[in-house]
Structures are given as C-alpha cells and as structure tokens.
A and B are shown apart, each in its own frame.
Chain A
Amino acid sequence: MSYVFYPGCSLDSTGKGYRLSTEAVARALGLDMPELPDWTCCGSTAAHQSNSLLSLALPAKNLLAASGKTMAVCCAACYSRLKVANHQIANAPDTRGRVAGVLGADYDGSTPVKHMLEIMRDEVGLDEIAGRVRVPLTGLRVACYYGCLLVRPPDVMRFDDPENPTLLDRVVAAAGAEPLEWPHKTECCGASHSITKVAIVERLSHDILAMARDSGADCIVTACPLCQLNLDLRQRDIEARFGDRLGLPILYFTQLLGLALGLEPDDLGLGSLMVDPLPMFAKKGIVARPGSGAAASAAR
C-alpha cells in the first residue's frame, strides 16, 4: 500500500516528539510515508462546533489531494475528522454535492485513512515488530491510553472495540513491555478545554493519571497529541491542585516503540516531554542512567 503522511498542526509544535518518533520509527521499519504537500488543518473541534459544512470541506480538501494513496495519520483528532468526512460524504449524495460546491472539486469519500497503529498491525505486522526489537522493554508496566476519538463513534471509526480496545496494548506487548489491565483506557482527558476551561481538563486528567498509578503503571502511552499534552503538561498543576503525587511519564507510543527498536532517545524527541521519562527508563535498565554519558541503552 502506498502512503502519504498527514501530520496535522499539533505535530509541528506541542506534538513535536510525536512527529520525530513517528518519522524515526517509520524509517527504521522501512515505511515510505512522504508528507502530503501543502496539507491544511482538519478543522478540529472548532470547525464541527461552528459549521458542519466547513468541518467536512476542510478534511475533504486534504483527502482529495491524497487521492490514490492511503493517508497515514498520527493525531487521533485529525484521524477522527478525516474519517467522519469520508463517512458523511460517501454515504450522502447531497452532502457530497454541497462539499463539492464549496471546494470547487468533487470528492467521493474514498481515500483510505489509517492511524499509525493500524499501519503497524496491517502493513508492518506485530510479529515483524517483535522480531525487530533490540532493546526488550521487559518488566515495563504500561497503561495504554486510547482516549476518545480513536474508538468513538465506533460505526464511523471502525478502529477497535469502543469499550475495551486492545490494538495499542498489542503493539506495546510486541515491543516487549507489559500492557496493564486498567479501566480508564477510553475516558476523556478534557481535550481542547486545555485552553478554554483548564479546570475541566485537570479534573478529568487527574482521574486518568491516578487510575494509571493505582493500577501499577510505570508510564502511560498515548496515540494522540492532545491526550499526551493534557496528561503531561498539566501534570504538575494537577499534583498541586489535588495534593496527589503522580510523577508518571507520558509517552507517544512511537517513542516507546522506537526505544525498543534500538533508536536513540534524542531521535525520538524524549527531551520534549515535560515529565522526564529517562530516570524511570534508567531504573528499569532500558536506557543508561542520566548523566552517565551516552544515551545508549544499558542493554546493549
């Protein structure tokens, strides 16, 4: 299958570590994913709250430009908006006509959209990933956090079981780590209220962080830049507000996978995380102790 990469706006700034690690992992696994030239924003929450036609036209413009290829997506919010647009345009001729009217070009809703997790499963294969692991993450207890938009609404997303998804768990297990059973896989972190109403994000994200800790997690992995940002950037404020000690590193799944494949922390953007994961990885013997020179794995 031929891919074209749609990074989305977050991956150019707050989600920089997600972009770096995705590109590094894709290179290591031999995936060719050139970036879609002149891609534009999917419209995100702002568009669907403001104007439903705009919320379809913005993704459709990109999907049309990617025509003939499969769109590879990392951000759960972009993934959701692109798939919703495909669903609505493909299933309602009048919607397709109205989108064509504002775009000035007809799009039929047929460009396939895949999340990087699905590409790991379908294109690379989980057995192949397991076979390429150079630094087994043995003993690392990971809470796999899916959030909302990868899995819901299930009839549009068709990603995984909406109440108990397992794809991220299986990718983490292929990397040699131990995915945990825990109940908050698909709870909401508060999403874009990160800017408009932080108190909501702090309460919801605290529930998720505390549950992960109480379930025995060494870290949380996410497949969404917004989830990662809320759990990571706001963690210190959350600790202060709720008088709770958390200290949980929040990684993009591509960072964890990259470490297992033997890539260097710097090439995976680990330095962009607010809660530094290196002390935890050092304790687990996955990377060398901070300050002990090279970031090379102790296992090598």
Chain B
Amino acid sequence: MTSAAQGLISPQLAQQVEAAAGARLTLCFQCQKCTSGCPIAAGTDIKPHELVRLVQLGERDLVLSSRMIWECTSCQTCVTRCPQAVELPAIIDALRRLSRDSRKVNPDTAVPVFNDIFLGAVRQMGRVHELGLMAAFKLRTKSFFQDAGKLPAMLRKGKLALRPPFVRGRSQRARTFRRVEGSGSEKR
C-alpha cells in the first residue's frame, strides 16, 4: 500500500503551509546552504533542506511529528543565507501550529508546554515572571531536578525576582488575547 493510500501523503500540504506562513517554498532548489549553517541540523531528525522537500512532497505526518520543527532555535541563519529567499523560519512556525492543531506533536518535545505557560503568564500578568515560569514548567513536565542545584546561587545573586510583576491593563490584555483566538484566519 502506498503512503498516499494510508492518508500520510497530502498533496495540499505545500499550498497549506505557504498560505499559513506567507512564504514561498517551491522556490527551493536543494542547494543545502540552509543545512550547512543550521546549528541543530547535525543532532536532529530532519535537516532544513530535507524539511522543505518533504513538505513539497506532501509527507504530512513525517513533517508534523518531527523533532526538528521544535528543536529549531529560530536563529534565522537559513533565511539569511538562502539564495532563493525561502523563509524557513516562517515555514517552521506555520508547521508548529499545524502540528499542534492536528495533534501530531512529537512526544520528545516540551516546547508547546513551555509556550503555553509563557503566554498564559503574559495574558494574566502582562510580563513573564521567570521564577514562576520555571516552577510552572517543572510541575507540568515533572522535571524537578533539572537545574535545581542552580537555584540557591541564582537567588543569592538576585537573578530571580521573587515577587511577580504587576502591570495595569489586565482586562484590555484579556480582550486582545480573546480577539486573537477568535480571529481564526488561515494565516495565524
């Protein structure tokens, strides 16, 4: 049975991603300059030039459940050097959103959990309280011991504000977030 018959191949994927990213990926001619400069290419499952090709080929599941789209550091080196101006960072952001919407997020990554906690804090308080952010992330991911040894020194050196921020305009912020969620346009 072919992948297409199994529903894994999606001919519309390229158009869908181009629309969501506001970027062109058909221009890529596989020169691999993006991969040459990518800081995470060597250690992840799909290299940047392969990602573009897989999207062109409609390999939906492979792309949306990859580690690569979450391990990308958004360093912008690929798009800076691309001779065809393929906006990979925008394409990867679009794939992240598609990956979440279609529940394909790779179980290895904690990035979506982190992003949700981060944006929840911005919505509530207006700013990120780093100590609270770290505590919430550790609770959600049960990673209590990671970096626990650094806490005393960080506190001693005043690197962690104990008190959460207070910024006026909470109802206005909530309204903005609600409108963003309600906008539901193709290009999110």
When chains A and B are docked, how far (Å) is the Cα of A53 from the Cα of B22? 12
In angstroms, how far is the closest chain B Cβ from the Cβ of A41? Answer: 5
For the complex, would chain B's binding face be called helix, strand, loop or mixed by DSSP majority?
Answer: helix
Docked complex Cα distance between A154 and B176 (Å):
30
Taken together as a complex, chains A and B put the C-alpha atoms of A21 and B177 apart, in Å, by 34
- 8 Å CB interface, B36-80 against A: 39-40, 43, 71, 73-77, 79-80
Q: How many residues of B contact A (CB 8 A)?
A: 59
Q: Is the CB of A204 within 8 A of B80?
A: no
- Within 8 Å by CB of B75, from A12, A58, A188, lies A188
A52 beta carbon closer than 8 Å to chain B: yes
Q: Which partner residue on chain B sits nearest A7 by CB separation?
A: B127
Q: Is the CB of B93 closer than 8 A to any CB of chain A?
A: yes
8 Å CB interface, A86-121 against B? 98, 101-104
Binds B, one of A145-153, A209-217, A279-287: A145-153
- Contact between B114 and A195, CB atoms less than 8 A apart: yes
State in angstroms the CA–CA spacing of A12 and B175 once bound together. Answer: 26
A48 contacts B93, CB within 8 Å? yes
For B173, what are the chain A residues with a Cβ–Cβ distance below 8 Å?
40
Report whether A98 and B185 are in contact in the complex, using a CB–CB cutoff of 8 Å.
yes
The reply to whether B161 and A197 contact each other, CB–CB distance below 8 Å, is no
Q: Are A196 and B76 in contact (CB under 8 A)?
A: no
Check A188–B73 contact: CB distance below 8 A: yes
B residues in contact with A195, CB < 8 Å: 114, 133-134, 137
Residues of chain B contacted by A101 (CB below 8 angstroms)? 179, 183
Chain A's interface: helix, strand, loop or mixed, by majority? helix
Q: A197 near B110 (CB under 8 angstroms)? A: yes
Closest A residue to B176 by beta carbon equals A102
Mark out the residues of chain B between 156 and 188 whose CB falls within 8 Å of any chain A CB in the assembled complex. Answer: 157-161, 165, 167-169, 172-173, 175-177, 179-180, 183, 185, 187-188
How many chain A residues touch B (Cβ–Cβ < 8 Å)? 55
A162 contact set on B, CB distance < 8 A: 80
Nearest-neighbor residue (CB-CB) of A157 within chain B: B76
- B188 and A197 contacting across the interface, CB-CB below 8 Å: no
Across the interface, A196 reaches (CB within 8 A) one of B109, B159, B160, namely B109
A233 CB–B CB distance under 8 Å = yes
A2 within 8 A of B: no
Q: Which chain B residues lie closer than 8 Å to A45 at the CB level?
A: 74, 115
Of A13, A49, A190, which one neighbours B115 at CB under 8 angstroms? A49
Q: Take A50-B115, A149-B76, A193-B73 as given contacts and tell me if A40 and B127 are in contact as well, using a CB distance cutoff of 8 Å.
A: yes
Q: In the complex, which residues of chain A have a beta carbon less than 8 angstroms from the beta carbon of B79?
A: 152-153
The answer to the question of A246 belonging to the interface, with a C-beta cut-off of 8 Å to chain B, is no
Residues of A within 8 A of B188 (CB): 51-53
Partner of A272, one of B80, B111, B116, B157: B157
Q: When chains A and B are docked, how far (Å) is the Cα of A70 from the Cα of B137? A: 35
A176: which B residues are within 8 A, CB to CB?
none
For the complex, what is the distance from the CA of A48 to the CA of B96, rounded to whole Å? 10
A44 touches B169 (CB 8 A): no
Contact of A41 among B39, B76, B126 (CB under 8 A): B126
Q: Are A198 and B147 in contact (CB under 8 A)?
A: yes
Closest to B178 in A: A102
Give every chain A residue within 8 A of B75 (Cβ-Cβ).
148, 152, 188, 191
| Cβ-based interface call for A83 (8 A) | no
Q: Please, how many angstroms separate the alpha-carbon atoms of A108 and B126 in the complex?
A: 22
Q: Which of A14, A57, A104, A273 has most chain B Cβ within 10 Å?
A: A14
From B122, B146, B153, B183, contact of A58 by CB (8 A): B122
State whether A53 touches B115 (Cβ < 8 A): no
Given the interface pairs A196-B109, A198-B146, the reply to whether A12 lies near B165 with Cβ below 8 Å is yes
Question: Any chain B CB within 8 A of the CB of A10?
Answer: yes
Interface centre among A44, A47, A162, A193 (most CB of B within 10 A): A193
B179 with A102: CB separation less than 8 A: yes
- Can you sample 7 A-B contacts with CB below 8 Å? A14-B159, A39-B127, A40-B126, A54-B176, A152-B76, A198-B147, A204-B39
Chain A contact residues, CB within 8 Å of chain B:
9-10, 12-14, 16, 38-41, 43-54, 57-58, 61, 98, 101-104, 148-149, 152-154, 162, 186-188, 190-193, 195-198, 200, 203-204, 233, 271-274
Nearest 9 Cβ contacts at the A-B interface? A152-B76, A46-B118, A188-B75, A102-B179, A46-B115, A148-B75, A40-B126, A9-B128, A13-B161
Taking A9-B130, A53-B183 as given, write out 10 further A-B residue pairs in contact, using a Cβ cutoff of 8 Å, ordered by the A residue number: A12-B161, A13-B129, A13-B130, A16-B161, A41-B121, A46-B118, A50-B116, A103-B176, A188-B75, A191-B75
